[in-house]
Copies of this chain bind each other. A is one copy, B any other.
Amino acid sequence: MVKKIKKYSQGEPLAPWREKIHEVIFEADTPYGRLFDALLIAAITLSVIAVMLDSVESVKAQYGGILDVLEWGFTLLFLVEYILRLISVRKPLMYATSFLGVVDLISILPSFIGLIYAGAETLLVIRVLRVLRVFRVFKLAEYLGEADYLMRALRSSRRKISVFLYTVFIFVVVFGSIMYLVEGEENGFTSIPKAVYWAIITLTTVGYGDIVPQTHIGQMIASTVMIMGYAIIAVPTGIYSTELAKVYKQSVTNHACLSCGEDGHDQDANFCKYCGEQL
């Protein structure tokens, strides 16, 4: 289940000290590796909270200085980490261009860009993107299997979900357009895209209430959309439940008994439950 990521460890061996750094930084099955990951996730979370607070005016006014210091601290920390990552992998370019590698770089840049460029808000948001690094938590052994499990079910239900989303798309366009005709501009349905936006708000049961039907016919159509939205939520849920059950069943039936050939053994089974032979 838990597949160790070996991407960067094939071919000729790294120097022992680089091997050691690699083990601590990239892997999560040694005590130091686990500790490093735990600390890293704490640092990421704290730095994201700091960035978010930095965008609150009253907080910035009072604690702006502390937040700046913190931000530079985290930036340097992530910079050191990024350099260590580059050093300890066999193919630095491959790492640097991978999704998480780019995210790692993006976590560092804004502070330096901020020295020469003054788009404060944009830089804030780019700094927040380091939250994506939290995905590294799924590298931890106890989450790796679970995340993989959920992803496999998601992948195998991809097309069914697409069919569902196409249908929802057609649905909201048709009902939105009809409401545009029925309610008209005077009731807030100023254009078809706006009316489609209303249909999405209603079908997904979000219901902001910023645009609501005023006419009797409009309210009847809205009722239909609501009840359909309430009922068809069953479709993605049903799809995903079924796929998860399938993936689970497959993981159960990976190993057949060598003696009687029956499968369906649990993952923790040592002996065949049908004939008693060792698995």
Q: Does A143 contact B (CB under 8 A)?
A: yes
Tell whether, in the assembled complex, residue A57 and residue B191 are in contact, meaning their CB atoms are under 8 Å apart.
Answer: yes
Chain B residues in 8 Å Cβ range of A51: 192
Tell whether, in the assembled complex, residue B278 and residue A276 are in contact, meaning their CB atoms are under 8 Å apart.
Answer: yes
- Please tell me which one of the listed residues B178, B226, B275 contacts residue A270 in the complex, with CB atoms under 8 A apart: B275
Chain B residues in 8 Å Cβ range of A146: 159-160, 162-163
Q: Does A15 contact B (CB under 8 A)?
A: no
Chain B residues in 8 Å Cβ range of A235: 150, 240
Number of interface residues of A (CB under 8 A): 101
Q: Does A153 contact B (CB under 8 A)?
A: yes
A154 nearest in chain B by CB position: B235
Chain B residues in 8 Å Cβ range of A150: 160, 163-164, 235, 239
Chain B residues in 8 Å Cβ range of A227: 165, 168, 200, 204
Interface of chain A: mostly helix, strand, loop or mixed: helix
Chain B residues in 8 Å Cβ range of A244: 238-239, 241-242
Chain B residues in 8 Å Cβ range of A233: 230, 233, 236-237
Given contacts A192-B128, A202-B206, contact A237 B229 (CB under 8 A): no
CA distance A230 to B55 in the complex (A): 27
Chain A interface residues toward B at CB < 8 A: 48, 51-53, 55-57, 121-122, 124-125, 128-129, 131-132, 134-135, 137-138, 142-143, 146-147, 149-150, 153, 159-166, 168-170, 173-174, 177-178, 180-181, 184, 190-194, 196-197, 200-210, 212, 216, 219, 222-223, 226-227, 229-231, 233-246, 248, 264-266, 268-278
